[in-house]
Amino acid sequence: MAKTAKRKGGKPAGPELKKGLVGVYADSTAVSKVMPETNSLTYRGYAVQDLAAKCEFEEVAYLLLYGELPSRSQYAAFKKKERSRRALERRHLNVIAEFPKSAHPMDTLRTAVSYLGTTETAWGGEARRKDLDRAIDLLAKIPTMIAADFRLRSGKRPIRPRANLSMSENFFHMCFGKMPPAEVIRAFNVSLILYAEHSFNASTFTARVITSTRSDIYGAITGAIGALKGPLHGGANEAVMDMLQEVGDPKKAEAWLRRAMKNKRLVMGFGHRVYKHGDSRVPTMHACLEDLTAWSGETKWIEISDVLKKIMIEEKGIHPNLDFPSGPAYYLMGFPINLYTPLFVMARITGWAAHFLEQNADNTLIRPLSDYHGPKQRKLKK
Ligand code: COA
């Protein structure tokens, strides 16, 4: 519901305010469509569940960036290009190596992406045509930045990317130096597809606001990473796993949740600004969590999740969002919790870049109004 401003005496005054831009259509888009009435989501017209079942993440990246699925030869050329761009320059790795080890990986990733922008000098005019190329460069290099930072912070040397591996396979290789079984790679690939795009969410809208000033793609993506970090947005996948660990035991889950509800505590991974009857992406990711549970033999997290989900839906009517199954899924894949939101970035760079290109192609500066409620104009006595 849109919230209106309250003045003294509790009376609304002035123009109607749409706090949080709730219910506001800020622009049109051809990138994706969220349909809360049918709990569905399409990327460029294709149902996300079908894409997750039948595509590699790289195909979906192509679809989002170019607007159509690639032909066989287009896909081969796209993959070749992405694979050739994965390596980071030595000076970039040196910058990552200098980050404080205590910094959150989202903060180091934000800075590492921003650094890439400092290596560009030609802006405006003709150089704008290179934006799609820059988007592919970011798509290729962000996983390398995440993996290098992950290894450097635990005193290990970064592992070079390999050009004969898919993006999902290569990421495990760069993080751990080995490959998990195919079902784990598949679950990771699905998570990247589900996280790739979601219309005008907070980080995408941030990217579009920055783009609308005719700033560059590095600024837009750096800002988007800053927005994604928050626990009400992408940071929720980390907060979900922290919460499941706090609950700790399926037998304690119900009592834990009842206490949380009594204390009006936010239950992480539940609720959504647009979906009110269930997130279209959850069943697909939950199926991956089931596969990972069977593969690992670790049933605790899905058992706790099931208790929380049942009571939240039955008693509050609040459904889980994608971060709810993704958190424990990433845990079972072996990633440390503070890497989950960077993994989200690795996927969402595709949606952000598609929106950067779309905003640029038909731009209007985004500049809303505010209803002032500070002191009345007064004389400066000085
Ligand atoms: N736990 C407990 N209560 C919740 C809740 C949650 N996760 N999500 C929503 N609610 C409650 C709110 O407290 C509010 O109750 P009230 O009407 O009694 O005040 C009601 O549901 C409506 O929520 P509201 O905050 O107005 O919805 P929103 O559209 O502004 O917020 C989120 C959407 C995502 C910010 C919110 O659901 C949330 O904070 N979820 C947890 C974080 C999360 O998982 N984020 C990832 C989103 S993909």
Is residue 323 annotated as part of the catalytic site, yes or no?
yes
| 276 ligand 1 Cβ < 6 A | no
Ligand 1 centre distance from Cα of residue 318 (Å):
8
Nearest CA to ligand 1 atom 17: 1
Catalytic residue, chosen from 272, 286, 319, 355, is 272
Residue 224 lies in a domain: yes
Does residue 213 sit in helix, strand or coil? coil
User: Do 353 and 213 lie in a common domain?
Assistant: yes
Confidence of residue 207 (pLDDT cuts 50, 70, 90): very high
Residue 43 lies in a domain: yes
| 273 ligand 1 Cβ < 6 A | yes
- The mean pLDDT value for 275-291 works out to 95
| 358 ligand 1 Cβ < 6 A | no
Rounded CA separation 146/167 (Å): 13
Distances (CA, A) of 211 to 106, 139, 360: 21, 18, 7
| 236 ligand 1 Cβ < 6 A | yes
pLDDT digits (tens, 9 = 90+) for 250-272: 999 999 999 999 999 999 999 99
User: Do 278 and 147 lie in a common domain?
Assistant: no
Rounded CA separation 103/302 (Å): 30
Residue 21 lies in a domain: no
Considering its fold, how many domains does the chain have in total?
2
The CA-CA-CA angle for residues 135, 137, 138, to 5°, reads 65
pLDDT at 123: 58
Confidence of residue 14 (pLDDT cuts 50, 70, 90): confident
Residue 76 lies in a domain: yes
Amino acid identity, residue 225? I
User: Do 164 and 296 lie in a common domain?
Assistant: no
User: Do 250 and 205 lie in a common domain?
Assistant: no
Rounded CA separation 346/192 (Å): 8
| 320 ligand 1 Cβ < 6 A | no
User: Do 256 and 296 lie in a common domain?
Assistant: yes
Nearest CA to ligand 1 atom 36: 271
User: Do 222 and 309 lie in a common domain?
Assistant: no
User: Do 327 and 345 lie in a common domain?
Assistant: no
Confidence of residue 3 (pLDDT cuts 50, 70, 90): very low
Q: Where are the alpha helices (DSSP H) in 177-299?
A: 182-195, 202-212, 217-228, 236-247, 250-262, 282-296
Residue 372 lies in a domain: no
Q: Which long-range contacts (CB under 8 A, 24 or more apart) does 1-8 make?
A: 5/371, 5/373, 7/373
pLDDT at 56 over 70: yes
Ligand 1 centre distance from Cα of residue 138 (Å):
32
User: Do 318 and 346 lie in a common domain?
Assistant: no
- The mean pLDDT value for 127-132 works out to 78
pLDDT digits (tens, 9 = 90+) for 32-49: 999 988 889 999 999 999
pLDDT at 38: 87
Is residue 189 classed exposed, middle or buried when 0-12, 13-18 and 19+ CB atoms within 10 A define those classes? buried
| 331 ligand 1 Cβ < 6 A | no
What is the position in ligand 1's atom list of the atom closest to the CA of 261? 2
Domain span at 311: 236-332
User: Do 128 and 264 lie in a common domain?
Assistant: no
Nearest CA to ligand 1 atom 45: 232
Ligand 1 centre distance from Cα of residue 172 (Å):
33
- The mean pLDDT value for 133-154 works out to 97
pLDDT at 128: 63
pLDDT at 222 over 90: yes
Q: What percent of the chain has pLDDT over 70?
A: 94
pLDDT at 78 over 80: yes
pTM: 0.95
Is residue 272 annotated as part of the catalytic site, yes or no?
yes
User: Do 75 and 175 lie in a common domain?
Assistant: yes
User: Do 158 and 244 lie in a common domain?
Assistant: no
In 3D space, the residue among 48, 100, 109 whose CA is nearest the CA of residue 235 turns out to be: 109
pLDDT at 129 over 80: no
Residue 71 lies in a domain: yes
The CA-CA-CA angle for residues 354, 321, 142, to 5°, reads 40
The beta strand positions in the chain, using DSSP E, are 32-35, 40-43, 46-47
Residue 298 lies in a domain: yes
Report the CATH number at residue 56: 1.10.580.10
- β-strands 46-47, 40-43: how paired? antiparallel
Confidence of residue 5 (pLDDT cuts 50, 70, 90): very low
Report the CATH number at residue 300: 1.10.230.10
pLDDT digits (tens, 9 = 90+) for 159-185: 999 999 999 999 999 999 999 999 999
Rounded CA separation 41/198 (Å): 8
pLDDT at 102: 95
Ligand 1 centre distance from Cα of residue 270 (Å):
7
- β-strands 32-35, 46-47: how paired? unpaired
| 235 ligand 1 Cβ < 6 A | no
pLDDT digits (tens, 9 = 90+) for 314-356: 999 999 999 999 999 999 999 999 999 999 999 999 999 999 9
Q: At what angle do helices 57-66 and 131-152 cross, to 10 degrees?
A: 140
Q: How many CA atoms, within 13 angstroms, populate the side-chain half-sphere of residue 146?
A: 28
Residue 143 lies in a domain: yes
Rounded CA separation 8/273 (Å): 29
User: Do 101 and 164 lie in a common domain?
Assistant: yes
Distances (CA, A) of 157 to 86, 111, 254, 335, 355: 17, 20, 44, 17, 35
Catalytic residue, chosen from 92, 233, 286, 319, is 233
| 53 ligand 1 Cβ < 6 A | no
